[in-house]
């Protein structure tokens, strides 16, 4: 291994030879400079890995040297050492993006710690992360074997997400492969659990919450004090994507409560989102509001009456607080809502459906550039973060914070990157979604498809007497025999929803208070 090249700039460097010797013994190749001018000449002629810089020197001051070094080598880490504890000097140094700030007198181990933090942190983090995951692997496997309830599965999925995001920070293809195997095994086991238990679990009154119960059980308690509230439903937002944008939210809001819940089946917008806003299962919506509900085979938009469903539920629950409903599909609509929010005089309960993440997932199927930008879950998370940091939605959230709104962030369902095809047969009236299908004469021999011959048993309407539902499990997707190979290749490695997986069914619900 090559020694680390270190430049130490101090007009009294001759008095620090013991420190220089100590660092040399620790594997650092230390060069010294007695002045800023000497240092700039050295940096021009040689590449250094890090600089130690005294703040108080004759001639060029430490801050002047810092500015000059940053101009020459913007990415060069600089650790400033100073006798002064004046706040303005610290602020100037931090503003110039120094790597660290040490107050004299400094001992050799203090300097060594700062150097390791700045030069070896990624290596040390990698080693610690690998060791910690290896120790946790067996624990996760044990929890996977012991999961007996939907509460167990949410707790397990949160642990899986923690490690997925931790492993994103290190470069270890071998460990990523092991984790992928473990997560796949978790989805297989979860899918079997849902297939066996869904009919008895999805409409219970215990601690588990599904889409049609979420508003009453999770939203309603937050409205009891009539606090101005912004309910933000980001369509198709996976739990891992929520975790990626959460640090950005934390600059403006404090997380008060995190209560993940389950999307109903199918994990598709017309079912799960309508269930959220209506407080009813699809079968109940069809019976109670036939003028608003549309089946898969019906003409017209399936989510045209979300505001009507919301209004009916608000009335049924006895909520008297003024409310608004807004659906945002394009930037101009976001800008319009932002202006309304800025100019409002009487805050209320505002519900916003934001449809951008769903567009990303669907675009991956149709656009090669999106396929490349979101080629993996890690890349998909990165794309989501980049979008969120630069979208008008963040401006809406900042304005809501300034107006004193509490913030509720949730979604209707998640999505999964499909990898394996399952062959299915149906007539031409069968729905087109490849993660779930409904229609007559649905047939498959694939064990990765969950067939429901009596849809009413899971709260779903039947289009006709012989209608059934089929749900793809884990990362499978359903393809008809006609032009089978073409559609297998067309849909492979695309983000889809409607079926059974942890990513689609376990979804975020979080309450934030304004900072």
Residues contacting 489, CB < 8 A, separation 6+: none
102-106, 195-199, 215-219, 229-233: least confidently modelled range: 102-106
pLDDT grade for 407, boundaries at 50, 70 and 90: very high
Answer whether 302's CB lies under 8 Å from 269's CB.
yes
Q: What is the DSSP letter of 443?
A: B
CB distance 105 to 71 below 8 Å: no
244 phi, psi to nearest 5 deg: -75, -35
Q: Say what the pLDDT of residue 422 is.
A: 96
Q: What is the pLDDT of residue 193?
A: 95
Average pLDDT on 81-85 reads 76
CB distance 270 to 264 below 8 Å: no
The chain-wide mean pLDDT, for the chain, equals 90
State residue 346's pLDDT score.
Answer: 82
- Say which CATH architecture domain 4-119 belongs to: 3-Layer(aba) Sandwich (3.40)
Q: Which of 119, 121, 136 is nearest to 175 (CA)?
A: 136
Query: In the prediction, which pLDDT does 363 show?
Result: 55
Q: Where in the chain is the domain with CATH 3.40.50.2300?
A: 4-119
pLDDT for 466: 79
Mean pLDDT along residues 121-138: 84
Cα(11)–Cα(34) distance, rounded to whole angstroms?
4
| The pLDDT of residue 205 is above 70 | no
Task: Name residue, tokens 């002064």.
Answer: 84
Q: Where are the beta strands (DSSP E) in 68-184?
A: 78-82, 100-103
Handedness of CA 117, 118, 124, 129 (dihedral sign): positive
User: Is residue 401 within 8 Å of residue 407, measured between CB atoms?
Assistant: yes
Mean pLDDT of 214-243: 95
DSSP letter assigned to residue 2:
P
- Burial (0-12, 13-18, 19+ Cβ within 10 Å), 469: buried
For range 397-406, the mean pLDDT = 96
Radius of gyration over every alpha carbon of the chain, rounded to an integer in angstroms: 28
pLDDT of res. 71 = 87
- What is the Cα–Cα distance from 74 to 130, expressed in whole angstroms? 31
Q: pLDDT at residue 84 above 70?
A: no
DSSP letters along 231-269, please?
Answer: EEEETT--HHHHHHHHHHHTTTEEEEEE--EEPPSS-SH
- What percentage of the chain has pLDDT greater than the value 90? 64
Least confident of 91-95, 171-175, 182-186, 455-459: 91-95
**Listed ranges 75-89, 114-128, 260-274; the one with the highest mean pLDDT:** 260-274
Nearest CA-CA partner of 14 in 35, 29, 28: 35
Q: Which residues contact 167 (CB under 8 A, 6 or more apart)?
A: 129, 133, 175, 176, 179
Mean pLDDT of 325-335: 92
**Largest Cα–Cα separation, the chain:** 93
pLDDT for the residue numbered 9: 93
Strands 506-507 and 261-262: antiparallel
Mean pLDDT of 487-511: 95
- H/E element, 363: helix 356-366
Residue 138 has pLDDT above 60, yes or no: yes
Give the CATH number of domain 211-415+504-514: 3.40.720.10
């Amino acid at each position: 291994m090559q020694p680390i090249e270190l430049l130490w700039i101090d007009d009294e460097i001759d008095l620090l030879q013991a420190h220089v010797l100590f660092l040399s013994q620790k594997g650092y190749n230390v060069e010294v400079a007695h002045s800023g001018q000497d240092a700039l000449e050295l940096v021009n002629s040689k590449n250094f890995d890090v600089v130690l810089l005294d703040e108080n020197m004759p001639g060029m001051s430490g801050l002047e040297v810092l500015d000059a070094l940053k101009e020459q080598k913007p990415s060069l880490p600089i650790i400033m050492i100073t006798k002064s504890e004046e706040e303005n000097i610290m602020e100037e140094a931090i503003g110039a993006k120094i790597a660290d700030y040490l107050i004299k007198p400094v001992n050799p181990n203090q300097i060594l710690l700062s150097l390791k933090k700045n030069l070896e942190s990624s290596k040390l983090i990698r080693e610690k992360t690998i060791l910690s995951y290896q120790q946790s692997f067996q624990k996760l496997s044990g929890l996977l074997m012991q999961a007996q309830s939907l509460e167990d599965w949410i707790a397990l999925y949160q642990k899986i997400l923690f490690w997925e995001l931790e492993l994103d920070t290190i470069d270890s293809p071998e460990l990523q492969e092991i984790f992928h195997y473990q997560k796949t095994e978790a989805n297989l086991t979860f899918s079997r659990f849902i297939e066996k238990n869904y009919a008895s679990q999805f409409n219970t009154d215990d601690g588990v919450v599904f889409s049609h119960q979420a508003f009453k059980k999770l939203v309603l308690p937050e409205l009891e004090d009539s606090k101005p509230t912004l309910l933000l439903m980001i369509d198709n937002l996976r739990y891992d994507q929520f975790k990626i944008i959460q640090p950005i939210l934390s600059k403006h809001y404090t997380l008060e409560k995190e209560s993940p819940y389950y999307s109903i089946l199918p994990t598709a917008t017309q079912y799960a989102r309508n269930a959220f806003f209506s407080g009813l299962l699809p079968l109940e919506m069809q019976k109670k509001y036939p003028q608003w509900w549309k089946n898969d085979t019906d003409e017209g938009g399936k989510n045209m009456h979300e505001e009507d469903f919301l209004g009916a539920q608000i009335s049924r629950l006895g909520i008297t607080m003024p409310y608004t409903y807004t659906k945002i599909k394009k930037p101009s609509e976001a800008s319009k809502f932002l202006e309304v929010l800025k100019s409002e005089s009487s805050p209320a309960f505002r519900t916003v459906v934001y449809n951008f993440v769903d567009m990303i997932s669907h675009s991956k199927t149709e656009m090669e550039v999106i396929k490349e930008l979101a080629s993996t879950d890690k890349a998909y998370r990165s794309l989501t973060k980049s979008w969120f940091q630069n979208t008008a939605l963040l401006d809406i959230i900042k304005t809501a914070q300034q107006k004193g709104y509490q913030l509720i962030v949730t979604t209707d369902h998640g999505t999964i990157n499909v990898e394996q095809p399952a062959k299915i047969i149906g007539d031409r009236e069968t729905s087109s979604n490849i993660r779930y299908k409904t229609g007559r004469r649905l047939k498959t021999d694939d064990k990765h498809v969950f067939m429901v011959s009596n849809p009413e048993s899971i709260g779903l309407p039947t289009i006709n007497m012989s209608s059934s539902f089929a749900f793809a499990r884990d990362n499978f997707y359903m393809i008809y025999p006609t032009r089978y190979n073409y559609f297998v290749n067309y849909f492979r490695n695309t983000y889809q929803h409607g079926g059974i997986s942890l990513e689609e069914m376990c979804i975020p619900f979080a309450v934030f208070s304004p900072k």
